[in-house]
Amino acid sequence: KAGVTQTPRYLIKTRGQQVTLSCSPISGHRSVSWYQQTPGQGLQFLFEYFSETQRNKGNFPGRFSGRQFSNSRSEMNVSTLELGDSALYLCASSLEGIQAYGYTFGSGTRLTVV
């Protein structure tokens, strides 16, 4: 059974640019959540999509956005990149987005903003 696939694995962007990251969840999983991980702030929740609708949102500026397609694949976009956006971006898929059923994380996309 394929796991959660995130692409690209590494990315280097210049300040002011925008970036799009992709996440393919486990087949049959309808919930996809996105997290930002930095050494200083740890794992922070960005947003969750369930059946193409944003169901939950963390405390991040509007530069961070996402969407989910009918096949449950999800993308997140960061516009007007700042140096502080350098982080490991993780997505997690879940059957129904219910903690009791467990979440599976991808290996992440390492974004470096220069």
Which residues bind to other proteins, rule: CB under 8 A? 4, 31, 33, 35, 42-45, 48, 50, 55-56, 58, 88, 90, 92, 96-100, 102-108, 110
- Of 18 and 23, the one with the shorter C-beta distance to other proteins is 23
Nearest approach, Cβ of residue 79 and other proteins (Å): 23
Whole-angstrom CA distances from 77 to 6, 7, 88 are 14, 13, 14
Taking a C-beta distance cutoff of 8 angstroms, is the pair 110, 9 a contact? yes
Distance CA 100, CA 24 (A): 21
Instruction: In angstroms, give the least distance from the CB of 102 to other proteins.
Output: 5
Q: Which is nearer to other proteins, 14 or 59 (CB)?
A: 59
Q: Using CA atoms, how far apart are residues 31 and 26, in angstroms rounded to an integer? A: 10
Question: In the bound complex, what is the minimum distance in angstroms from residue 43's beta carbon to other proteins?
Answer: 4
Q: Which is nearer to other proteins, 11 or 88 (CB)?
A: 88
The contacts found for 56-61 with CB under 8 angstroms, 24 or more apart, are: 60/36
